[in-house]
Structure 1
Amino acid sequence: MREGQRPAGPAFAHSGNLDDRSDWQTLAEHLAATAELAAARGAALGLAEAARIAGAWHDFGKHDPAFDRVLRGENVRVDHSTAGAKLLLDRAKGEERIAAELIGYGILGHHAGLPDAEPGEGSTEGSMNRRIEMFRDPIAPAITAGAVVELIPALSEISKKLRKESGGFDLSVAGRMIFSCLVDADFRDTEAFYTRLEGREADRDWPALRDLLPGLRAAFDAHMAGFPAKTDLNLLRAEVLQHIRAQAALPPGLFTLTVPTGGGKTLASLGFALDHAARHGHRRIIYAIPYTSIIDQTAAIFKDLFKGAGDVVLEHHSAIDTDKPGQEGRDKARLAMEDWAAPIVVTTNVQLFESLFAARPSRCRKLHNIAGSVIVLDEAQCLPRPLLLPALRMIDALAAHYGCSIVLCTATQPAFDSQQLEQGLALEGRELAPDPEALAGRLRRARVVPAGEMEDAALVEALHDAPQGMVIVNSRKHALELFEAVRGAGLEGAVHLTTRQYPAHRRRIIADIRERLKSGAPCRLIATSLIEAGVDLDFPKGWRAEAGLDSIVQAAGRVNREGKRPPEDSTLTVFSAPGRSVPAEMKDLIKQTRSTLTRHEDLLAPAAIRDWFENVYWTAGPGRMGQPMVEAFVFGRNLGAGHTNFPYRTTAEEFRMIDDRMVPVIVATEEAARAAVKDLGVEKVPSGKLARALQPYTVQIPDRMRALMVGNGHASFHAPALRGDQFCVLAERSSLYREESGLWWEGADYLDDNQLQI
């Protein structure tokens, strides 16, 4: 057989085991199956025909005779992803060009990821236009001539997703959704082929939310009925919950839920989500949380609440990345992390929003399952300001075009409808809580007291007179030094809480703090902002280093949380820490807090909080809140004259909620962690299962510091032949992890003692 030719007969998509190819998957079979799977996913989005076309033409390039050599195991590079996009663009006429381009991005990117339209600085072949321009078609002309493409139905779907004021961004989101339908369908059909070939099954079956809702709502009602109703606070919480659940009949869309800390907003938002989904047919509930430090706590609450319903809650975040190539732990929860098929998903803002702006197929597979969801954004004010405007545009698009109801849930509602945001969200009349202004007064349990400068010695002296008190500062370095000063002064009950401690360790510390507070034992906590959201603590008094007003209000929520003390005696003292540096952005937030204090006597009032947010937005301006990322998605004056020019890949690189790449290190000091580390060497134990077992024992550190730790013998990758570089474990005798202060990776510069032995 000459080079460039393939055997007579059909083209194949995937190879099997038999030489006669009787167990191979033909290309026609794969394209047809992928088209139907993609269309089924697109139907829920109003993009069935666009998704069908993407599935039908994504592997058209496998008609290249050279691809048969790839299937025979030869080391030949074949571009099979460009031919389908080129075909669509060549056949498009007039307005059809927009549909062809939008689908073409997905076809071009179904392996390598969504491309930019134009090459950027230093790039060559990676962009859509350059790939199309350089493509030399190796497919037999008769095959191409026989291809029939009908783009009008897809164009009709896509045109319904456009609004005059945000057409370019809307169009880009439609492209992401089509891409998600395609890559998930492609993966699922390929997986189905190989599981049949190998005589196994992928356990992907999750019950539908609609079938579960009667039982879930009954479980929720039973749980809430178990709270003692005799306290004034619990009576108020029950009143708030009843009012919020009554709003479930409102039409789907955007909502705010403004309830002061301690008012029961987490469970109230869940109750609303259950009732709203039952009323309007939403497909799943997604609960997004800003901090990995509290996600496992929230997931544990939901799992315990719904334990009678079986396996319904998926916890997904990135403490350990289970999405590395070659890691083949195919357990059910890991499979669900790929496409969020579970009825209830508890995740992080990072995982949710970085997926919505991602380019990689593996991260985008879940997007079509986000559509039709009730999404609760817990602590909504924590969306990072440098990315705020693209995040709000995405929230708006999900509500406007993809059947999502989104609840902005917080004690400090971040004024996302402010005129300072130019295209803010339309939130008027969408508040779920009963009269937030009055509710803030009824739930007032503490006072904020400005104090001016306080050196560490003054803070130690203040804690001397407060056997139970907390101090929150702005850096881990300051927290550790203050903790050492408190302990050095001989004060009892000194506790240090930091993200350098692994989650299971922090949970034990928090449990000890709660017990101390309950019993009246001395408890003097020094911490950073990690305790300000989602950590249920009730101190008589607190001190907070100057910060943004949103942080100060959250800190005040840890003072007299249960309302057992007179509010006038329950103070959060706000101080400035002389000699302590703060990031430039925090300086601006502090400046606005001081300015707000000149206009509002009560910093905890909703009016003061809104005033602060509006001034923060005005000071920052759109350019510092991510507006260029929104404006990058433009497509010309109208569909007929349009050209997309979308920078998908560049945006994915720029939309990073965590600037410095953080990676996990496992601290296996506890028996459960040691057992899971031991199982890393057992091939039959899935990586996903081990990742979840080890997540409570991981600390996230900068990538470059982990490399130093490994290089100097403080840590190592375990079972690399099986797991690659997925599981980095701190050396058993390493001195870098300390009970009081957690993992101090700065010591990674020095060789471990074992490395010095001859």
Structure 2
Amino acid sequence: MSQEIYAHSGTPGHLADWQTLAAHQAGAAALAAPRAAVFGLSQAARLAAALHDFGKHDPAFQRRLLGAPDRVDHSTAGAALVLGRAKGAERVAAELLAYAILGHHAGLPDVMGSDSSMERRLDLFKDPIPPAITAATPVDFAPLLPEIMAKLRGKETAAFDLSVAGRMIFSCLVDADFRDTEAYYDRLEARQKDRDWPALPDLLPRLRADFDAHMARFPAETDLNRLRAEVLAQIRSKAALPPGLFTLTVPTGGGKTLASLGFALDHAALHGHRRIIYAIPYTSIIDQTAATFRELCGDIVLEHHSAIDSEHPGQQGRDKARLAMEDWAAPLVVTTNVQLFESLFAARPSRCRKLHNIAGSVIVLDEAQSLPRDLLLPTLRMIDILAARYGCSVVLCTATQPAFDSRQLKQGGLPLEGRELAPDPVGLASRLRRARIVKGGAMEDAALIAALRDTPQGMVIVNSRRHALELFQAVQAEGLAGAVHLTTRQYPSHRRRILADIRAGLKAGTPCRLIATSLIEAGVDVDFPKGWRAETGLDSIVQTAGRVNREGKRPLEDSTLTVFEAPGQPVPRSLQPLIAAMRSTAARFDDLLSPEAIRDWFEQVYWTRGPERMGQPMVDAFVFGKDIGAGHTNFPYRSTAEAYRMIESLMVPVIIAIEPEAEAAVARLGVADIPSGLIARQLQPFTVQVPEKARSLLVQNGHARFEAPHLRGDQFCVLATHTLYHQDTGLRWENAEYLAADQTMI
């Protein structure tokens, strides 16, 4: 056997084209350091990358490269090396590197508690590396300590701050490892991948000019458009403020989506941010936001969410957009809160490799009030450290600003005083007032139907898909004209057509009686004369009110949203405390649309939950020894990743290929040369998210199938029984185990 040590095998029996370990570690280190330089951890990332494959010096690993069947742990040796060399204050730096090195394939570990933990792996480790190699390997902690200590903000947050530094080092390491390995095999196999995106700073002069031209096309002939222009100008005027945390409080219809993009472009130009990340809580509206941004900005927009995910095991494609999903290298990323925050708390290398590219970004959190309350405190802690130590500006953008300010949220709040971008939010709320909220008391379905009978154009929003479906069918049975059902059971392209028909009908004055769930509340541009909303949290009620008299063309006194109690309809447990807080606020405030009432409601909600039920234990789980110099971290990375789930029940996509465009895309799945990522984006408008168990039943009973599994694995599940999809109510997956194809008609 050659005396050369190899990292990756090439042509069998032809060692000349194999990648040496020295070349790979040097290449990874050279890639990792500049990735971390943006936030001041370049020396830590360089050393982690230089030592991550130290275990490949093991003769057993070299034999494996030559064809031996035994699995070899090559990650623990590097961790043992850095921990063994650390003395005194160096220990904390060594532990951060050890987490990253141990996890560069298997994922960030916990310190203790399982066979994959750091403690267990080190206890079982028997050093196989020749002593001469270990002795000749330098480990210099001196440059690392100032970098790492600079990430600490104070005693109270020190452990969490250190854990985030560890995440960022890990991100740089795994991205550099992937990229160097990929480049080696690309050269070996004469492949080329298009990973290059233009840099945001180079694009900003054009983007800002295009934005100005787009906004200039809006006519200034209405009071509302003049007010929107005034709001936009005021918000953009504050782009010169120092980077950090911001709030943007603009009532629904005030143009906050475009205003926040204008601010982000200007702010990035003035402060050198590397990209803009726009995070949205709802997949139901992300595609329309991405389409708006593409219209403005062109093909520099990366859309990444659960329906277009790069992590499905069957995905073969390596197109540019899919590659960018791995590391978010695009200048403008439109994503979901789930993708953004679950990645920031993840342990898997595939989720974490994008983290270093989040640093130095302008992050707009649209509908910020939708951040999940049971994860609120760790989420706010992460937002705070990104702004304080990783060069991010974070904009909390909403019509109903939650009480995230440390003056209201005493434990874990954010320093938001003086950081509001909108001009006079209280006065703005009054000037943009276009509807009234009234109390309707108890209203059964019969009363709602009677109200709709007297209202040719009206909407009713309820709290469950079951209630919405029952009410819609009852409205149909009464023969009321213009009955429309909107549900997440309909695929996005179908929903867009329904919404277009709704808007056209409302504009033409034809009957339109909409029955829906909360998906109508945020980001959906409709303008009803009147509406009814089942009791829920005040934030949702205010959002629904924004769909009444949206354009301000009707008298305020006639534009009402009636909030009602729905007797006989079970209230989801998660809504019960929100409704109780809403009733309490309503008893003390006549105007539920006032900023004071909204603030009161949020404060009640957070106070009654308490820190324990807002994720504080997840923050407190990150600890280290009383003496910082002693190191001894206890970071439960893997356990936290498992616990930090914004969506508890796993939803998976089913493709509804009943339109020619979708049918053609499904047919392309059988062509091996077409990247999966490209087809996934083409099919995204034709997918419905369903519970994982429901999809399994559909497949088991022949109502759905995985298309081209020999090429695509189990990524593309296509509905086979088209009669399960109904134009008015969407996909009906219940009782799939009992239904044959001829039994599915309503």
State the partner residue of 1:460.
Answer: 449
Instruction: Say whether the 8 Å CA contact 1:320–1:726 is kept in structure 2.
Output: no
Instruction: Say whether the 8 Å CA contact 2:277–2:363 is kept in structure 1.
Output: yes
Are residues 1:296 and 2:287 paired? Answer: yes
2:17 to 5, 19, 23: 23
1:398 to 383, 386, 396: 386
1:116 to 103, 106, 110: 110
Instruction: Say whether the 8 Å CA contact 2:313–2:715 is kept in structure 1.
Output: no
CA RMSD of aligned residues (A): 1.2
User: Secondary structure in 2 aligned to 1:525?
Assistant: strand
- Give the superposition deviation at 1:326: 5.0
Are residues 1:213 and 2:204 paired? Answer: yes
Q: Distance in 2 between matches of 1:330 and 1:640?
A: 45
1:615-656 deviations in Å (ceiling 9; x for gaps): 100000001111100000111223213321100000000000
Q: Distance in 2 between matches of 1:29 and 1:751?
A: 59
Are residues 1:71 and 2:65 paired? Answer: yes
Q: Distance in 2 between matches of 1:32 and 1:320?
A: 34
- Matching of residues 9-88 of structure 1 within 5 Å: 9-17=3-11, 19-88=13-82
Q: Distance in 2 between matches of 1:184 and 1:428?
A: 37
Q: Distance in 1 between matches of 2:351 and 2:168?
A: 12
Q: Distance in 2 between matches of 1:503 and 1:643?
A: 50
State the partner residue of 2:233.
Answer: 242
Q: Distance in 1 between matches of 2:376 and 2:416?
A: 16
- Give the superposition deviation at 1:321: 3.2
User: Secondary structure in 2 aligned to 1:341?
Assistant: coil
- Give the superposition deviation at 1:334: 0.2
Q: Distance in 1 between matches of 2:245 and 2:545?
A: 28
AA aligned to 2:70 is V
- Give the superposition deviation at 1:147: 1.0
Instruction: Say whether the 8 Å CA contact 2:457–2:513 is kept in structure 1.
Output: yes
AA aligned to 1:135 is F
- Matching of residues 358-757 of structure 1 within 5 Å: 358-417=346-405, 418-731=407-720, 733-753=721-741
1:78-105 deviations in Å (ceiling 9; x for gaps): 0001100000000000111101111110
Q: Single out whichever of 215-224 and 321-330 deviates more from structure 2.
A: 321-330
2:87 to 77, 87, 93: 93
State the partner residue of 1:3.
Answer: none
- Matching of residues 170-319 of structure 1 within 5 Å: 170-307=161-298, 311-319=299-307
1:321 to 309, 313, 332: 309
Q: Distance in 2 between matches of 1:195 and 1:77?
A: 25
Q: Distance in 1 between matches of 2:736 and 2:232?
A: 50
Instruction: Say whether the 8 Å CA contact 1:42–1:51 is kept in structure 2.
Output: yes
TM-score by length of 2: 0.98
- Give the superposition deviation at 1:751: 4.7
- Give the superposition deviation at 1:679: 0.8
AA aligned to 1:568 is E
Q: Single out whichever of 228-237 and 579-588 deviates more from structure 2.
A: 579-588
Q: Distance in 2 between matches of 1:160 and 1:692?
A: 41
State the partner residue of 1:156.
Answer: 146
State the partner residue of 1:4.
Answer: none
Q: Distance in 2 between matches of 1:83 and 1:437?
A: 60
- Give the superposition deviation at 1:754: 8.4
AA aligned to 2:484 is V
Instruction: Say whether the 8 Å CA contact 2:91–2:630 is kept in structure 1.
Output: no
User: Secondary structure in 2 aligned to 1:735?
Assistant: helix
Q: Distance in 2 between matches of 1:327 and 1:9?
A: 38
AA aligned to 1:510 is L
Q: Distance in 1 between matches of 2:688 and 2:398?
A: 27
Instruction: Say whether the 8 Å CA contact 2:308–2:677 is kept in structure 1.
Output: no
Q: Distance in 2 between matches of 1:76 and 1:196?
A: 28
User: Secondary structure in 1 aligned to 2:145?
Assistant: helix
- Give the superposition deviation at 1:146: 0.8
Are residues 1:168 and 2:159 paired? Answer: yes
Q: Single out whichever of 737-746 and 218-227 deviates more from structure 2.
A: 737-746
Q: Distance in 1 between matches of 2:467 and 2:503?
A: 24
State the partner residue of 1:140.
Answer: 130
1:354 to 342, 361, 367: 342
Q: Distance in 2 between matches of 1:241 and 1:8?
A: 67
Instruction: Say whether the 8 Å CA contact 1:244–1:433 is kept in structure 2.
Output: yes
1:356-395 deviations in Å (ceiling 9; x for gaps): 0000100101000000000000000000101111100000
Instruction: Say whether the 8 Å CA contact 1:12–1:62 is kept in structure 2.
Output: yes
Q: Distance in 2 between matches of 1:367 and 1:108?
A: 18
Q: Distance in 2 between matches of 1:562 and 1:400?
A: 39
1:299-344 deviations in Å (ceiling 9; x for gaps): 000001123xxx2110000114331235221000000000000000
Q: Distance in 1 between matches of 2:191 and 2:95?
A: 38
Q: Distance in 1 between matches of 2:348 and 2:188?
A: 27
Q: Distance in 2 between matches of 1:73 and 1:534?
A: 56
**CA 1:326–1:75: 2 relative to 1, 3 Å:** farther
Q: Distance in 1 between matches of 2:28 and 2:110?
A: 24
Q: Distance in 2 between matches of 1:284 and 1:330?
A: 22
Q: Single out whichever of 629-638 and 338-347 deviates more from structure 2.
A: 629-638
Instruction: Say whether the 8 Å CA contact 2:530–2:559 is kept in structure 1.
Output: yes
- Give the superposition deviation at 1:18: 5.2
User: Secondary structure in 2 aligned to 1:573?
Assistant: strand
Q: Distance in 1 between matches of 2:441 and 2:570?
A: 16
Q: Distance in 2 between matches of 1:47 and 1:547?
A: 46
Q: Distance in 2 between matches of 1:162 and 1:100?
A: 16
Structure 2 unmatched runs, 5+? none
Percent of pairs identical after alignment? 73
AA aligned to 2:131 is P
AA aligned to 2:307 is A
- Give the superposition deviation at 1:8: 2.9
Q: Distance in 2 between matches of 1:75 and 1:170?
A: 42
Instruction: Say whether the 8 Å CA contact 1:322–1:691 is kept in structure 2.
Output: no
**CA 1:69–1:750: 2 relative to 1, 3 Å:** farther
Instruction: Say whether the 8 Å CA contact 2:301–2:331 is kept in structure 1.
Output: yes
Q: Distance in 2 between matches of 1:190 and 1:104?
A: 21
Instruction: Say whether the 8 Å CA contact 2:309–2:325 is kept in structure 1.
Output: no
User: Secondary structure in 1 aligned to 2:173?
Assistant: helix
TM-score by length of 1: 0.97
Instruction: Say whether the 8 Å CA contact 2:313–2:713 is kept in structure 1.
Output: no
Instruction: Say whether the 8 Å CA contact 1:736–1:747 is kept in structure 2.
Output: no
AA aligned to 1:715 is A
- Give the superposition deviation at 1:555: 0.2
State the partner residue of 1:340.
Answer: 328
Instruction: Say whether the 8 Å CA contact 2:92–2:630 is kept in structure 1.
Output: no
User: Secondary structure in 2 aligned to 1:406?
Assistant: strand
- Give the superposition deviation at 1:752: 3.2
Instruction: Say whether the 8 Å CA contact 1:451–1:575 is kept in structure 2.
Output: yes
Structure 1 unmatched runs, 5+? 1-6
User: Secondary structure in 2 aligned to 1:76?
Assistant: coil
